[in-house]
Amino acid sequence: MSVFAPRADVRDEPLTTATGLPSHEDRSVRDRRRRNGGRRIGSHVFLVILAIYFIIPIWWLAVAATKDTSGLFGSPAFWFDDHFAFFENLAGLFTQQGGIYWRWLANSFLYAFAGGIGATILAILAGYGFAKYRFRGRGAVFTIILGSVMVPLTALVIPTFMLLSQYGIINTPWAVILPSLLSPFGVYLMRVYTQDAVPDEMLEAARIDGAGELRTFFQVALPLLKPAIVTVLLLSIVGTWNNFFLPLAVLTDETLLPVTVGLNRWTALSNAGAGGEQVWNLITTGAFVSVLPLILSFLFLQRYWQGGLSIGSIK
């Protein structure tokens, strides 16, 4: 069913698993035998060209973070300047507007983790409820949730802004965190995964042994859901971390902004020229520092997202 099924079920099938490697190797050995060298070189050239296209702006950012403003204008875009200014830029981030950049970065972490963890907890509970109980109205409610995946979340930003200002929590961290708890797609993923990964017989056995519903959930089901939990957590943290429209609309206090909105504000000011101060070197360095945490976590969590991003897409 999904590449993300629990290992035990997949072990003796020729299908791939989340890590994908065993069957991959088998097939490639066969491929190698029947394929002439030319095709493989062609494929590799194609991949390398694609990879260069996708990586070059990131390379540019890494290089640009080491330049001062005159270096940004004056030196070759894709190579280092003679003057290595990365640490000066970093220091500049601490002094510019009293180090507000680090405040923004901390806000981004707070919003992403609070929103992401909260959304994941709600998705685990709801996914389990939908997958393992047959309560009245389940089908109808789930269909509505599934349909809501197609509602563009940005269409909700303006009404959310108006509602939150009525409750008086506009311009507070809650205005970003609370709407971020909504993740219909996370619920869908958890339900699909729970259905496969948690056998009804195991729950039944736990109940016969006298475990209550909550204990069954925490001690039997939850451990089996670990891979899907990591994936949903990763997806919802990335989602909140990327968010731009919502914080742009609901936050005006500069000390509450996440790093995305903050850097965009610096860019707008620097471009406006006249009154605003030009802080190009701080923008590039700030952007570089802010993408490091996610890039690193994707590198280290590869085995989770590679299988996990496809849950639900495969029947």
Question: Which residue in 24, 83, 215, 226 binds other proteins (CB under 8 A)?
Answer: 24
For every residue of 73-88, DSSP letters joined together read: HHS-TTS--SS--HHH
| Integer-rounded Cα radius of gyration of the chain | 24
CA–CA separation, 74 and 113 (whole Å):
40
Question: Which residue in 37, 38, 159, 275 binds other proteins (CB under 8 A)?
Answer: 159
Helix 37-64 × helix 280-300 angle, to 10°: 140
Question: Which residue in 37, 38, 253, 299 binds other proteins (CB under 8 A)?
Answer: 299
**47 contacts other proteins (rule: CB under 8 A):** yes
The residue among 290, 299, 286, 298 whose CA lies nearest residue 64 is 286
- Check: CB of residue 120 under 8 Å from CB of residue 112: no
**7 contacts other proteins (rule: CB under 8 A):** no
Judged by beta carbon, residue 18 or residue 92, the one nearer other proteins is 18
- Check: CB of residue 242 under 8 Å from CB of residue 111: no
Q: Find the shortest distance in angstroms from Cβ 258 to other proteins.
A: 9
**38 contacts other proteins (rule: CB under 8 A):** no
Question: Which residue in 161, 211, 222, 230 binds other proteins (CB under 8 A)?
Answer: 161
Site for other proteins in 213-252 (CB under 8 A): 213, 217, 238, 241-242, 244-245, 248-249
**76 contacts other proteins (rule: CB under 8 A):** yes
The residue among 194, 219, 221, 142 whose CA lies nearest residue 4 is 194
Strands (E), the chain: none
**209 contacts other proteins (rule: CB under 8 A):** no
Stretch of 39-47, 80-88, 92-100, 225-233 lying at the interface with other proteins (CB under 8 A): 39-47
Stretch of 80-88, 89-97, 98-106, 265-273 lying at the interface with other proteins (CB under 8 A): 265-273
Question: Which residue in 197, 261, 279, 282 binds other proteins (CB under 8 A)?
Answer: 261
Residues 275-294 as x/- pattern, contact with other proteins by CB under 8 A:
-----x--xx--x--xx--x
Stretch of 80-88, 90-98, 99-107, 156-164 lying at the interface with other proteins (CB under 8 A): 156-164
Max Cα distance, the chain (Å): 75
Return contacts of 98-102, CB within 8 angstroms, 24+ apart: 100/254, 100/255, 100/262, 101/259, 101/262, 101/282, 101/286
CA–CA separation, 71 and 302 (whole Å):
36
**104 contacts other proteins (rule: CB under 8 A):** no
Q: Find the shortest distance in angstroms from Cβ 219 to other proteins.
A: 15
Stretch of 19-27, 90-98, 168-176, 224-232 lying at the interface with other proteins (CB under 8 A): 19-27
